[in-house]
């Protein structure tokens, strides 16, 4: 009888004391699974733990946390020596505030069910995004949405969930400055002032907002969406709907396309969030790395072509 694959759970330190997480680990160990737990203390730990797990022979690395933890784990797996065939599979135990990637993929929110899925389900080869050398798996966002995400207090997000972003947006919309830039990719050329930029390998960000509704994790393409600058009155009228319904609220204004790479150049330094992790530059090249990582996804996941 074959022994179960070895696994490493890279657990965000904020979730380490949760009784349901501890119970989930004890349960799968009782079922015969071999799983080591590494708990993060500060930024960068998850990347380092994931890379070490890959280099010491773990077959599965489970990211236990939110979208930021997943981003760090993906970075560590991609940085490890060897190619896609030698990297561990990525599993996800959603323990964050928004869990945007997990919700999009259909990964269960229950820690035990998610952990069993990560340890037992066959893996699927998924694409990984890269922006100026940094990896991301879900969505890269820029503009007003990025500003709101960065300025929303963690305590408010914990108390109100996605509604917290709407409240922050309502209090900041009078100070919004659109970015001005140029976008270039296969079949997509655009320039002007814009409020929101989303480059999606996955579909949603910011606590459930559908920014890239056509994105697929396995098709080798980004779903790119740009909201050009809107007149102040129209933007104020659309703001609540924008946070409630995503970019569908301003569908007729959106510029978009599906591309394997995209170059963005802005007149001033521009902040992009890669799965919520910030990066600032005036020039960014986004590119898809097709089927670069094996990932444990539920059967029938909507993000699998």
Quick one: DSSP state of residue 254?
-
> Does one domain contain both 284 and 193?
yes
191 in Cβ contact with 182 (< 8 Å): yes
pLDDT 10s digit of each residue in the chain, 305 long?
Answer: 567 789 999 999 999 999 999 999 999 999 999 999 999 999 999 999 999 999 999 999 999 999 999 999 999 999 997 777 789 999 999 999 889 999 999 999 999 999 999 999 999 999 999 999 999 999 999 875 555 555 554 554 454 444 444 444 444 444 566 889 999 999 999 999 988 899 999 999 877 778 899 999 999 999 999 988 765 545 555 555 555 555 554 555 688 899 999 999 999 998 889 998 889 999 999 999 999 999 999 999 999 98
Residues 146 and 275 in one domain: yes
Task: Give how far the C-alpha of residue 42 lies from the chain's centroid of Cα atoms, to the nearest Å.
Answer: 19
Number of structural domains in the chain: 2
Q: Domain range holding 60? A: 6-121
**Catalytic residue of the set 36, 55, 263, 277:** 277
Q: Is 277 a catalytic residue?
A: yes
109 and 151 fall within a common domain: no
Q: Is 171 found in the same domain as 46?
A: no
Q: Are residues 108 and 153 in the same domain?
A: no
> What CATH number is associated with residue 49?
3.40.50.10330
Q: β-strand 60-65 against 6-11: which pairing, if any?
A: parallel
Q: Which domain CATH number covers 248?
A: 2.60.200.40
Same domain, 146 and 96: no
Whether 86 contacts 55, CB under 8 Å: no
Q: Is residue 298 part of a domain?
A: no
CB atoms within 10 A of CB 127: 23
Residues 100 and 143 in one domain: no
Classify residue 192 as left (phi > 0), alpha (psi -120 to 50) or beta: left
- Note whether 90 and 149 are same-domain residues: no
pTM: 0.85
Residue 303 lies in a domain: no
Mapping DSSP onto H, E and C, the string for 201-212 reads: CCCEECCCEECC
108 and 30 within one domain? yes
Is 65 inside any structural domain? yes
CA 59, CA 11: separation in Å to the nearest integer?
17
Last residue of a domain, one of 87, 121, 155: 121
b (16+ CB within 10 A) / e for 258-277: bbbbbebebeeebbbbbbbb
The answer to whether position 246 is within a domain reads yes
């Amino acid at each position: 009888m074959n022994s179960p694959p070895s696994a490493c759970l890279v657990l965000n330190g904020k979730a380490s004391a949760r009784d349901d997480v501890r119970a989930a680990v004890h349960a799968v160990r009782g079922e015969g699974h071999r799983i080591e737990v590494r708990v993060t203390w500060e930024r960068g730990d998850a990347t380092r733990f994931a890379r070490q797990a890959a280099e010491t022979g773990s077959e599965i690395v489970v990211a236990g946390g939110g979208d930021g933890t997943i981003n760090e784990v993906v970075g560590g797996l991609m940085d490890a020596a060897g190619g896609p065939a030698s990297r561990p599979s990525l599993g996800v135990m959603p323990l964050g505030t928004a869990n945007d990637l997990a919700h999009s993929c259909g990964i269960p929110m229950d820690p035990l069910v998610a952990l069993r899925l990560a340890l037992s389900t066959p893996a699927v080869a998924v694409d990984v995004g890269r922006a100026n050398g940094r990896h991301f798996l879900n969505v890269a966002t820029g503009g007003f949405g990025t500003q709101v995400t960065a300025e929303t207090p963690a305590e408010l997000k914990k108390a109100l969930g996605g509604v917290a972003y709407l409240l922050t947006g309502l209090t900041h919309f009078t100070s919004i400055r659109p970015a001005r830039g140029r976008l270039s990719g296969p079949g997509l050329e655009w320039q002007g002032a814009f409020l929101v930029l989303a480059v999606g390998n996955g579909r949603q960000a910011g606590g459930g907002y559908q920014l890239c509704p056509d994105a697929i994790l396995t098709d080798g393409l980004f779903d790119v969406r740009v909201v050009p600058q809107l007149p102040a009155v129209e933007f104020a009228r659309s703001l609540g709907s924008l946070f409630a319904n995503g970019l569908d609220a301003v569908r007729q204004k959106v510029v978009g396309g599906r591309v394997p790479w995209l170059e963005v150049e802005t007149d001033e330094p521009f902040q992009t969030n890669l799965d919520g992790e910030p990066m600032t530059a005036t020039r960014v090249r986004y590119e898809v790395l097709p089927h670069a990582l094996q990932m444990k996804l539920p059967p029938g996941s909507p993000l699998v072509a």
